[in-house]
Structure 1
């Protein structure tokens, strides 16, 4: 009787486990199909400021990325002219530079080199790789491994505003 009882329990356990396994496998397959359908129907999110920012040079109120505690930057389209101030450009779809420029060479010049990535519809992530001091500076260059800082991009009139996301 013990042998029959043990066999009955084994067959019952195998039967229950096979039902559970097939039920799990069916749900996983349905989930995978639903995931593929939703991904196929989704269009990639395009940043609405990307083309505008990458296709120009911008006058900025501060050197972008120099002070990691800066909360906001105002960017205005730069038109070629004699100019003293801060310029920022988002070049080659990955890097950016922000620098102080002046027509005379007797000044302290600071240049930031870093990486940028447009995320979401209205956000940009930046990280600073290096700070280069030239001109009258007597400071050594800095090489930073900064964390990504995310800014929300907005536009007011002809200016683009980068506001640090908290």
Structure 2
């Protein structure tokens, strides 16, 4: 019984961390095939009360089904709008592997790529400024 209790405590901590990425984040860059050394994640204000500036920029949505979508929005149509789709896998409570599956661009640029590429393994680092996904060195 004690072992069962310890397993429950261990996995509840693991899943609590795992759920920490679920949701919509504003980020410093769209997750594309041009891999960044780190991504800065701050909680996105997606309410109707959000200012216009809060609604524009680069975002990533981590869904609870281990998929993500990253995209760029701007106030006008004279821009390059990139959207990507992929999956993420927790390797432990502070480490995630990101895999990109699709890229689509519209607006002032046109491109579409459907190729599965592992973007890398990232450490999940939380500090007072927010959350960072820091790429591990190979």
Give the TM-score of the pair, scaled to structure 2.
0.79
Return the structure number with greater strand share: 2
Higher RCO (CA-CA < 8 Å; seq separation 6+): 2
- Is the contact made by 1:66 and 1:112 (CA closer than 8 Å) also made in structure 2? no
Aligned residues: 126
Where does the alignment leave 5 or more consecutive residues of structure 1 unmatched? 1-37
Gaps of 5+ in 2: none
Matched with 1:145 is 116
Q: Which has the larger radius of gyration?
A: 1
TM-align CA RMSD: 2.3
Q: 1:161 maps to which residue?
A: 132
Distance 1:78 1:41, change over 3 A: closer
For residues 158 and 77 of structure 1, what CA distance do their matches in structure 2 show? 11
SS at match of 2:116: coil
Q: Which structure's residues are more often helix, by fraction?
A: 1
Q: Partner of 1:74 in structure 2?
A: 40
Q: Label 1:102 to 1:159 Cα distance change in 2 as closer, same or farther (>3 A).
A: same
